[in-house]
Chains A and B, each alone.
Chain A
Amino acid sequence: MSELRQARFAGLFIMTLILIVAVLIGISFYAARAFERSLLPQLDRKMLTVGTAVNAKLERALRYGIPLERLPGVTDFFGGVLAANPDLAYLAVTSANGVVLYQRGTLLPSVEQLVTSTQPPVGPPTAQRVGAAYDLALPLQGNQTVTGSLHVGADAGFVTRQIRELLFDIAIVFIIAALVALELLPLIVQQNLAAPMRRLESVLRRIADGDLRYTLPASHDEVGQLSSLINRLVIRLNTTYRQLIHQALLLRTAIPASVGRLDSGLASLRQGFILAPNGQPTPYLSVHLIGARMATFLFIFAAELSQPFMPLYIRTYAAALGDPPAQWLIGLPLTVFTLTAALCMPIAGWRFERVGSRHTFIEGAGLLMMGLAGTGLAFNFFDLLGWRALTAVGYAFLYTACQGYVVANSPEQHRAQGSALFVSGLMAGSICGPAIGGILADRIGYTATFSCAAALALGAGLAALNLLGASPVIRSNQRDQQPGHGLIRDLSANFRFAWLMLFAAIPAKLLLNGFLFFLVPLTLYELGNSRSEIGRIVMLYGLAALFLGPMFARLADRFAIHGLLIGVGGLLTGIGLIPMLFFPNTLTVLAGVLCLGIGQAMSISPQLALVTRICRPQITRFGSGPVLGFYRLIERLGGASGPLIVAGFAGLFGYPGTMTAIGVLGVVTAALFSIGFLIMGIDSEPSDQSAPPVTPEPF
């Protein structure tokens, strides 16, 4: 995009963000007013109900002749009432001359304010705003005389507190809307303005350079109208030229003496110009990757929507096989998903090579949609397993289609940028999915949330018809390829590679899948968090990875500290999980998720770079595709084992104990990795070969 267009896009993005903020403020403000109108009378009735009952008890004592100021146990009695009714702030008794005799609770107004509130109201008693509270004063009558007043108080900020409790959710909605805007607006601007304008400028530049071979795709908008005129110009110039050539040919045949003059005239005509073959200009096509980013975002969004509650959902089915269900039963569908996705990647790749990205994506979207809908409507645990496997096949197809599209359509020198675009769509989806999924599950339930995810998958499939324009056939050396026997033998003999896999790559994925996808939802739920809160916490992983990943990748490349970052990242991940046994609370889990996000952001990209360095002989022999394919396969198998291994631990140690146990495992493996590479060293050759454009795995 040119600078001017970038500035316009930035303006559009900022304007959209401002509108989103304004809209959220507007609806929250309206909700506060509406809540106040409806909730305050209810609060009033509640205060009156409690006040009347408490008053009756006090008046009974007064009727027995006990003076108001000598009633025993009133404060304790008030304490019991307030404990059972947390929406009330205080209870107090004042004497007829305004002295506070008994009181319990918070927000009690001053004596003067209470006296004002005690003034006999006209009509039935109603609560009045007194300081920071709503105060309802009821007269206490003993033997026909008013001896004092009972004051029932509620927090005046009751309604605003309700709205304030939503602030976190509203903030999450804002973050997600900003991320969606970041995906959607570039796509719209790109498709409707930037790309057509770029094509237009490109063709004009070609005409200015004398290249008259191209026309532009016409549309009904302003750019399309200009394009039509340019096409008319190009066609007219080409047609006139063809007609002249034809006339000249006729003349050459008819008047052989004119050949020399005609040839010199035609030669000077063509000089500096390239005409369309046969006078038929061809449409000028350009491929843009932004569509692939949107497609990636949509399918990841759909797939990740159920992430924050998946183990909880599985548990409801596993409970039918044994109550409480065995932990490994809860972990099994997660493992089935990861394993199936890993094993289906080659099939998806094969499909991609045959039918191209658009078809593969649409097939994947169909499978994903069926899988998600089936998961939401599963009859029992066993068909749930089947639906998860089907979802995973769809996931593998979609992943391969998007990755393949980006790789095939990125010029060699911009391959890394293309991959970055794909990764940003992937990460944005993995941030939005869990957060929105948690909110939806809380409000509309599991089945409806799975239906939303299936609808989103369907939407992704439909969008792909427009988003993934060209259907290139991938060049075989650009994609992760399947390893042959020779390669496996060679890599197995590479001790550094084996060490990296055993003590960095596999533990990283094991911790990610075991901790984030299995332990976090279950532990947080046990700690009393709602599914929205679980979604918010899971989302932090994606946020950390999205914002810190590129920074750490740049740092690693700049200072050649790949090994150091892998070691530190592993240690940080492990250390973040250890405190859970000692401080089993939500904050500790949150810290663990953040440490995992930062740790993985540190280590994922450097791991890829390290593989390309320590496997240089194998890459020279077999090519980078098969080597990275093997690395990926092992890594994914590690990820698949995560939920099962962690479930095994959970059966023995409980969730907090398991977090600590896998934290210790993370620290030990990271330490072994660091010690091993400190002893062995990484190849002494300078790291002048940057890593090939490969993308981190989301699972």
Chain B
Amino acid sequence: MYFKITAAIATLIAFVLSLAVLMNYAKFERAFSGLTESRLAFLVQDLRETLEFGLDLGLDPAAMANTTSILAREAAKDPQILSILVFDDQGQVLHRHQREALSRPLSELTPGWFRTALRTHPDAAPWRISDPDTLIVGATLTNNFGRAVGGIALRYDRSFHDHELAQALTGLTQAAGLILLAATLIALISAWLLFRSARRDLRRVRSALAGFLEDADSPAFQAGSSGSKLEIGYAAAEQNSREFWRRLRQVERILRLEQQLADQESADV
């Protein structure tokens, strides 16, 4: 009984904990990704402002000679930045800075991909996309006439990001597991404390009944002064059973006597 009650409480607490873990993890994921992406978005915005300054001066984006060094300088600010690309409105990459010695080559972004990014994000606000390997934060470059002439795409190593998230989830799950274990123990002890008197009554009654079944002449059960409903009920039931048992024995004796009488009569005959 304790175990069933404890199991029910443990199930309930597991349900509560899984919801709490789910919500906390989602919140963490949102906050962590938000911070990372907003930092990268700030870098991209800073880059956009620098490049648009050149566009405002009438320079052709393809011809801005110091762009690659600007990209390299920005990329040096964070070792997790894998590459920064500047592309035109046709999706052709004009300038590129890519980190050397990558553990594996980055998937290529196609001109179609760049064109779609420009089409779906025509305003100046930074945009965010992710692929299996990288988080991509970008911004659209617009000229003096408000026309989109290209864009910037910064690719960020998501292994660090994913590792942090996985670590947070593992930590939360482990903590939830420990809390569940502790709560289950407390529930078990509490259930035992709450229901031990019921169990004691059951044991007392069971022992008395077992004694009565072994030996019908055993002393009658006495309900305690603060006897439970069960004890009082059993005492009355046992008393009546003894009475019936007594009557059965009496009839048994009558039958035996009758039988003896019958045997005697048949012997006399």
Mask, A158-183, CB within 8 Å of B = 1, is 00001101100110011001001100
A46 B39 Cβ-Cβ under 8 A: yes
**B252 lies within 8 A of A16 (CB):** no
For chain A, residues 1 to 29, give those with C-beta under 8 angstroms from any C-beta of chain B. Answer: 2, 4, 8, 11-12, 15-16, 19-20, 22-24, 26-28
CB neighbours (8 Å) of A27 from chain B are: 17, 20-21, 24, 172, 175-176, 179
Instruction: Decide if B27 touches A20 in the complex (CB within 8 Å).
Output: no
**Which of B56-64, B85-93, B140-148, B254-262 faces chain A?**
B254-262
Binds B, one of A118-126, A260-268, A629-637: A260-268
Which residue on A lies nearest to B24, using beta carbons?
A31
Chain B, residues 191-224, CB within 8 Å of chain A (1/0): the string is: 1001100110011011001101100000000000
Contact (Cβ within 8 A) B195 A8: yes
Do B247 and A12 have beta carbons less than 8 Å apart?
A: no
Q: Among B96-104, B111-119, B130-138, B238-246, which stretch is in contact with chain A?
A: B238-246
CB-based contact B183/A204 at 8 Å: no
A85 proximal to B (CB < 8 A): yes
**Contact with B26, one of A28, A208, A237, A443 (Cβ below 8 angstroms):** A443
**Neighbouring A residues of B202 by C-beta, 8 Å:** 222-223, 225-226
Min CB distance A26 to B, Å, is 5
Contact partner of A20 among B16, B46, B251, CB < 8 A?
B16
Q: Report whether B213 and A229 are in contact in the complex, using a CB–CB cutoff of 8 Å.
A: yes
Given A207-B240, A236-B213, check contact A16 B176 (CB 8 Å): no
Contact with B along A27-59 (1 / 0, CB 8 A): 110110011001100110110011011000000
Chain B's closest residue to A3 (CB) is: B229
A207 contacts B42, C-beta separation under 8 Å: no
B12 contacts A by Cβ under 8 Å? yes
Can you name the residue of chain A whose Cβ is closest to the Cβ of B202? A222
Q: For A53, give the chain B residue with the smallest CB separation.
A: B46
Known: A50-B42, A258-B258. A201 touches B210 (CB 8 A): no
Contacting pair A204 B230 (CB below 8 A): yes
Residue of B nearest to A247 (CB): B255
Give the contacting residue for B20; candidates A22, A173, A188, A212; CB below 8 A. Answer: A173
Task: Please measure, in the bound complex, the distance between the C-alpha atom of A38 and the C-alpha atom of B172, giving whole angstroms.
Answer: 13
Size bin of chain B's contact surface:
35 or more
B5 at the interface (CB under 8 A from A): yes
Q: Is the CB of B39 within 8 A of A188?
A: no
- Indicate if the CB atoms of B183 and A15 lie closer than 8 Å: no
Report Cα–Cα, A442/B172, bound state, in Å.
Answer: 19
Residue A659 interfacial (CB < 8 Å):
no
Tell me, yes or no, whether A76 is within 8 Å of chain B by CB. no
A680 on interface, CB distance cutoff 8 Å? no
Within B42-97, which residues are at the interface with A (CB < 8 Å)?
42-43, 45-46, 77-78
- Contact A35/B31 with A208-B236, A210-B240 known, Cβ cut-off 8 Å: yes
Q: Is A688 an interface residue (CB 8 A)?
A: no
A165–B32 Cα distance when bound, in Å, is 15
Q: Which residues of A contact B23 (CB under 8 A)?
A: 166, 169-170, 173, 439, 443
Chain B residues positioned under 8 Å from A200 (CB to CB) = 230
Chain B residue at minimal CB-CB distance from A189: B5
- In the assembly, what is the distance between CA of A247 and CA of B206, in Å? 32
Q: Which residue of A lies closest to B30 (CB)?
A: A162
Asked if A229 and B210 sit within 8 Å, CB to CB, the answer is yes
Instruction: Tell me the number of A-to-B contacts counted with CB atoms below 8 Å.
Output: 243
In Å, the complex CA distance between A49 and B156 comes to 15
Task: Choose the segment among A248-256, A468-476, A538-546, A618-626 that binds chain B (4+ C-beta atoms closer than 8 Å).
Answer: A248-256
Report the nearest B residue to A207, measured CB to CB: B237
Scoring A residues 185 to 201 as 1 if CB is less than 8 Å from chain B, else 0, what string do you get?
A: 10111001100010011
Given the interface pairs A192-B1, A204-B233, the reply to whether A233 lies near B16 with Cβ below 8 Å is: no
Of A19, A222, A258, the contact of B199 (CB 8 Å cutoff): A222
Which residue from chain A places its CB closest to the CB of B9 in the assembled complex?
A16
Give bound CA distance, A166 to B31, whole Å: 12
Question: Do A204 and B237 contact each other (CB < 8 Å), given the known contacts A24-B20, A229-B210?
Answer: yes
Query: Do A177 and B205 touch (CB < 8 A)?
Result: no
Task: Determine the distance from Cα of A258 to Cα of B259 in the docked complex, in whole angstroms.
Answer: 10
Max count, chain B CB within 10 A of own CB: residue among A181, A229, A442: A229
- Whether A554 is near chain B, meaning CB under 8 Å from some CB there, is no
Given contacts A192-B5, A226-B209, A233-B209, contact A31 B172 (CB under 8 A): yes
A266 and B251 contact, CB distance less than 8 A: yes
> Shortest Cβ distance from B241 into chain A, in angstroms?
6
Chain A residue numbers with a CB within 8 Å of B42 are 46, 49-50, 53, 84-85
Instruction: Indicate if A63 sits at the interface (CB-CB under 8 A).
Output: no
Chain B residues near A12 (CB, 8 Å)?
5, 190-191, 194
- Chain B residues with Cβ under 8 A from A266's Cβ? 251
Instruction: Verify B168–A273 contact, CB threshold 8 A.
Output: no
A493 at the interface (CB under 8 A from B): no
Complex contact B248–A244 (CB within 8 A):
yes
A255: which B residues are within 8 A, CB to CB?
258, 261-262, 265
Contact residues in A for B262 (Cβ distance below 8 Å): 251, 254-255, 258
Closest to B199 in A: A222
Q: How far is the CB of B52 from chain A (nearest CB, A)?
A: 15
- Chain A contacts for B212, CB-based, 8 A: 233
Are B5 and A20 in contact, CB atoms less than 8 angstroms apart? no
- Which single member of B179, B187, B203 contacts A16 (CB below 8 Å)? B187
B202 to chain A, nearest CB (A): 5
A265 to B1, CA, bound (A): 46
- Any chain B CB within 8 A of the CB of A230? yes
- With A45-B39, A84-B45, A251-B258: A38-B230 Cβ-Cβ less than 8 Å: no
Chain B positions within 8 Å of A39 at CB level: 28, 31-32, 35
CB distance from A698 to the nearest CB of B (A): 23
B248 touches A208 (CB 8 A): no
Are B20 and A170 in contact, with the CB atoms below 8 A?
Answer: yes
CB atoms of B228 and A4 under 8 A apart: yes
- Name A27's closest neighbour in chain B (CB-CB): B20
In the complex, chain B residues whose CB is within 8 Å of the CB of A414? none
Is there an interface contact between B9 and A19, defined as CB atoms closer than 8 Å?
yes
- Which one of B16, B22, B77 lies within 8 Å of A443 (CB-CB)? B22
- Asked if A241 lies at the interface with its beta carbon under 8 angstroms from chain B, I say yes
Chain B minimum-CB-distance residue to A40: B35
Interface assignment of B110: CB less than 8 Å from any CB of chain A: no
Complexed CA–CA distance, A439 and B16 (Å) = 13
B12 with A181: CB separation less than 8 A: yes
B168: contacting residue among A38, A174, A225, A240, CB under 8 A: A38
A85's partner among B9, B38, B245, B258 (CB-CB below 8 A) is B38
Question: Is A697 part of the contact surface with B, judged by Cβ < 8 Å?
Answer: no
Instruction: Establish whether residues A20 and B213, one from each chain, have CB atoms under 8 Å apart when the complex forms.
Output: no
Q: Which residues of B contact A20 (CB under 8 A)?
A: 12-13, 16
The verdict on A208 contacting B239 (CB below 8 Å), with A19-B186, A233-B213 known, is: yes
| Beta-carbon contact of A225 and B1 below 8 Å | no
A56 to chain B, nearest CB (A): 9
Q: Are B24 and A244 in contact (CB under 8 A)?
A: no
Distance A255 CA – B164 CA, assembled complex (angstroms) = 97
Let me know if A69 is at the binding interface, CB within 8 A: no
Q: Which residues of A contact B20 (CB under 8 A)?
A: 23-24, 27-28, 170, 173
Q: Knowing that A229-B206, A229-B213 touch, tell me 5 more A-B residue pairs with CB under 8 angstroms.
A: A19-B186, A87-B35, A162-B27, A192-B4, A255-B258
Pairs A–B under 8 Å by Cβ, sample size 20: A19-B187, A23-B17, A23-B180, A23-B183, A27-B172, A45-B39, A84-B42, A162-B27, A166-B27, A170-B20, A185-B9, A188-B5, A197-B230, A205-B233, A222-B203, A233-B212, A247-B255, A258-B258, A273-B244, A442-B26
Residue positions of A touching B, CB distance < 8 A: 2, 4, 8, 11-12, 15-16, 19-20, 22-24, 26-28, 30-31, 34-35, 38-39, 42-43, 45-46, 49-50, 52-53, 84-85, 87, 162-163, 165-166, 169-170, 173-174, 177, 180-181, 184-185, 187-189, 192-193, 197, 200-201, 204-205, 207-210, 212, 221-223, 225-226, 229-230, 232-233, 236-237, 240-241, 244, 247-248, 251, 254-255, 258, 261-262, 265-266, 268-269, 273, 436, 439, 442-444
